[in-house]
Amino acid sequence: SGINAEYGEFQTLQHYFIQINLRAMNYNELPTNILVGHTDIASQLSRRLIQLRAARTLWHRDMNQFMDHILRVNDGGLSYDVFPWIIGRVRKGEKSSQPVSMGACQEFMPIVLRFLHSDRDEYLHVALVMVQSLVERFQDQLGEMSRNHINSAQSANLESLYMILVKTVERVRALTNAHHQEVAKEANNALALLEKL
């Protein structure tokens, strides 16, 4: 899937839209037989692309504005589209030109939790990869938190992130028995990391 490809900037959905010629779609130029029964879908895809372009602009400009936008729009499709960007930066850590802070990750966790309880395999998969990435990225700090060695300067965001991740354990464990092989695999990987906390 696209999530197994390189986690990076504006990739998967943009390429998809290019392939189906939605970058500069003019519905009036499409054959009538294509539009019959599909106007709503085309409109939704166009709106999703507009939202994604707005998110991309904010992504390159300001992480806080980007997160505010994603949370405000509160659209599962848009959240799914931007997950690879966030995962990519989380994995790069301080090597990224604009590292994702622990606070930003903590703000995104409600979406991660919602995806973990989705009935869509692609949502489950990307949420599980996100959980793994977060634990790996902040492993030292989370380990200190679990051992009650935490300094006050870090405590607010770290404690919140730690508690949310701990709450995911039972759901992640349940997903190890998922019918979809990739979901089960990522759940096992995530569970192995979470159980070390």
* DSSP three-state, residue 68: helix
> Mean of the pLDDT values across residues 25-33?
53
pLDDT tens-digit map of 149-161: 555 555 778 888 9
pLDDT tens-digit map of 124-142: 999 999 999 999 999 988 8
Classify residue 183 as exposed, middle or buried by CB count within 10 Å of its CB (0-12, 13-18, 19+). buried
Classify residue 48 as exposed, middle or buried by CB count within 10 Å of its CB (0-12, 13-18, 19+). middle
Closest CA to 12 of 77, 65, 105, 101: 77
Closest CA to 168 of 109, 93, 123, 121: 109
Phi and psi at 124, nearest 5°, equal -60, -45
pTM here? 0.76
